[in-house]
Amino acid sequence: MTRKLDLNDIQGNVTRAYGRYSFPFARYYFFHFPDPASGRAFVDKVRTVVTTAARWPKKDQKPEDPSMVQPKPDCTTNIALSFTGLLALGLPVRTLQAFPDEFIEGMKARAFILGDRDPGETERAAEKNKWDAHWDPIWQNNRTSSAPAEGDVHMLVTLNAQLAPDTTDKPHPALAERAEWLLEAARKAGVRHLGGIGAKGDEDYQSASAVFENVGGVNLPTRKEHFGFTDGIGDPVFEGQLSAEDEAKAVVGRGKLMGEGWQPLATGEFVLGHPDESQELPPTAPPYEFMRNGTFVAFRKLHENVGTFDRVLKEEAKRYANVANVGDVEAEETLRAKMCGRWSDGVPLAKVPTYQDWRAFQKQHKFDPDTPDLEAYKNHDVYVRSGEARDFRYADDMPGYKCPSGAHIRRVNTRDYLDPLNKTGKDPETGKPHENPDATSALNKRRRILRRGLPYGPSNNEAKDDSTEQGVIMLIMCASLFRQFEFVQQQWIQYGLDFHQGNNTCPLLGRHDRHKRHTIPENPESGKPPYVMSKLDTFVECRGGDYFFVPSMTALRMMAMGIVDPT
């Protein structure tokens, strides 16, 4: 039985990754409350336009429950508050002190755990060396002391927009209108709008958009990030998020494997006030309705060093081509795939393991280079949305012959790889690796995160290097930043023990100032030797961000009215 949620109370970005629902543009605005009254007045104004999780009507379909359906907006609006923001709103101590430690400390204080500063250096040394000098000024000035400070970021407002009518690469005018309205509302309420965004600090908001590409003479939004990988395919599905009919399809490859096929994850892993995978309600701050239907989000600006990535990949591909005796194109494509776990178009290595298989697969699905661009674009979109791109597991590939154990997607969503009953080594009967068809997602289902962000930076038609501004704005949502996001970041991205990688970090997202290797195991039957990439450099670096609380509509109203009362 699917859990029924009060979708009118939950913010819309919790249930929807807008980018995948035809909203390829976003703007992120940040505000500071000089005093509780102005903060409350601003929240009271903005909450009236917040986009909820109410379902949008589908074409030619009658809604199951009309009260749960809202027309699809041209531009969405959502709110989140940092701990310093809640403090500035004057919330009661009893409520504030029941928030989780990591949220109270904020993302900057957790940089060491997240690998955002060099873990080989102590905090004192790092402070002296100004470890965050490369962060955007807004984030350098945020939380400069444990006491309230002028530069503290209190509130995040996210706007997401559809395409303008009859265009393929322009945001809907509703985006600029809503932005103007927002700044006017802040001015009237007496709330300070914070700039200082971008490497030079000369931007007033963080913009983001899908990476556009010229497809058959037209600029179209793609699913790519700036290294060229297809992104955002395997976002988790939880109970109550989708209608029963949508859930059945969407859950394939995006839920958990617990012996009965793919099941949605427990709601409480992502929405507070509901049972989680440990069959209990996540701890929340009083009063009861204040945190219920809310969640947490980590806002992270992840810069991508495209120049370094391309250079390292070229160098490694040259050596790999020689060792594996393959052509340059195959070498480069294979290394990319073996770093990520998917081919650049999103086809998973777990299902399509070799370069030849992949080329044949593209042809069969008609998104190969010989298919006309626009047709290939459409076919590719259909494939990436399908369960086929997500329905795979790792327990049948314990040695990582198909998808290396240290590859990016195998680290961040381990699926059934960590089932304690999985065995390494060979099955003496078959002489092949053990397969364990009954493996479950037991050690993965409490570590999942929702990704609600978009890339930022130029389109693929423009030149990029390390110094140009491009990357991904990650909005990571989960009920416990500590148990879910921070664990994945620290133990799986910035460390490798669970994957037999020693201290080697994620080949794409990890720090590579000390650990530069990534092992690509090879099946002895292939005749090729294993290959160790050994020249990795840090390709992705954080440029700032913070942890925010995403309140329900009820909680927003309580805060706006100043009636949060835990007694």
Would you say 169 or 269 has its CB closer to another protein?
Answer: 269
- Map the footprint of another protein across residues 124-143, applying CB under 8 A: 124
Is residue 407 packed enough to be buried (19+ CB in 10 Å), middle (13-18) or exposed (0-12)?
A: buried
Angstrom distance (rounded) from CA 349 to CA 339: 10
Binding of another protein at residue 144 (CB under 8 A)?
A: no
85, 236, 346, 406: which one binds another protein (CB under 8 A): 406
Q: State the number of binding residues for another protein (CB under 8 A).
A: 50
Least Å distance between CB 496 and another protein?
A: 5
Angstrom distance (rounded) from CA 329 to CA 325: 12
82, 422, 459, 470: which one binds another protein (CB under 8 A): 422
Strand, coil or helix: 219: strand
Would you say 252 or 532 has its CB closer to another protein?
Answer: 532
Residue 564 in contact with residue 290, Cβ under 8 Å? yes
Would you say 276 or 333 has its CB closer to another protein?
Answer: 276
Binding of another protein at residue 517 (CB under 8 A)?
A: yes
Would you say 62 or 124 has its CB closer to another protein?
Answer: 124
Would you say 277 or 541 has its CB closer to another protein?
Answer: 277
37, 68, 96, 109: which one binds another protein (CB under 8 A): 109
- Backbone CA torsion sign across 528, 532, 538, 540: positive
Binding of another protein at residue 279 (CB under 8 A)?
A: yes
AA letter at 335:
L
Would you say 68 or 442 has its CB closer to another protein?
Answer: 442
33, 83, 103, 487: which one binds another protein (CB under 8 A): 487
**Which residues are bridge partners to 473 per DSSP?**
301, 454
Is residue 322 packed enough to be buried (19+ CB in 10 Å), middle (13-18) or exposed (0-12)?
A: exposed
Binding of another protein at residue 504 (CB under 8 A)?
A: yes
Binding of another protein at residue 497 (CB under 8 A)?
A: yes
For residue 449, CA distances in Å to 312, 482, 505 come to 30, 11, 19
Residue 26 in contact with residue 209, Cβ under 8 Å? yes
Least Å distance between CB 422 and another protein?
A: 7
Residue 420 in contact with residue 412, Cβ under 8 Å? no
The number of beta carbons lying within 10 Å of the beta carbon of residue 261 is 10
Q: With contacts defined by CB under 8 A, name the span among 1-9, 119-127, 386-394, 541-549 that binds another protein.
A: 119-127
Angstrom distance (rounded) from CA 541 to CA 114: 11
132, 345, 416, 419: which one binds another protein (CB under 8 A): 419
DSSP per position, 253-296 = TTSEESSSSEEPBPGGGTSTTS--TTSSPPP-PSSHHHHTT-EE
Would you say 363 or 514 has its CB closer to another protein?
Answer: 514
Least Å distance between CB 298 and another protein?
A: 17
Binding of another protein at residue 348 (CB under 8 A)?
A: no
Binding of another protein at residue 174 (CB under 8 A)?
A: no
| Residue 94, both tokens | 């009893």
Binding of another protein at residue 495 (CB under 8 A)?
A: yes
7, 113, 163, 454: which one binds another protein (CB under 8 A): 113
Would you say 167 or 534 has its CB closer to another protein?
Answer: 534
Binding of another protein at residue 417 (CB under 8 A)?
A: no
Binding of another protein at residue 16 (CB under 8 A)?
A: no
Binding of another protein at residue 190 (CB under 8 A)?
A: no
Nearest to 42 by CA among 192, 206, 148: 192
Binding of another protein at residue 510 (CB under 8 A)?
A: no
| Residue 23, both tokens | 């909203």
- Tokens 């290396």 -> residue: 404
Binding of another protein at residue 145 (CB under 8 A)?
A: no
Least Å distance between CB 417 and another protein?
A: 11
DSSP per position, 38-54 = HHHHHHHHHGGG--BSP
HSE at residue 255, side-chain half, CA atoms within 13 A, is 24
| Residue 443, both tokens | 């050690």
Nearest to 452 by CA among 33, 112, 51: 51
**Angle in degrees, 0-180, between the axes of helices 553-561 and 36-46, rounded to the nearest 10:** 140
The number of beta carbons lying within 10 Å of the beta carbon of residue 229 is 21
Least Å distance between CB 527 and another protein?
A: 9
Contacts of 179 (CB under 8 A, 6+ apart): 27, 29, 159, 205
Binding of another protein at residue 34 (CB under 8 A)?
A: no
Binding of another protein at residue 68 (CB under 8 A)?
A: no
Least Å distance between CB 408 and another protein?
A: 15
387, 530, 562, 566: which one binds another protein (CB under 8 A): 530
Binding of another protein at residue 446 (CB under 8 A)?
A: yes
Binding of another protein at residue 196 (CB under 8 A)?
A: no
What residue ranges bind another protein (CB under 8 A)? 109, 112-113, 119, 122-124, 277-280, 283, 399, 406, 418-424, 442-443, 445-446, 482-483, 487, 490-491, 494-498, 500-504, 514-515, 517, 519, 521-522, 524, 529-530, 532
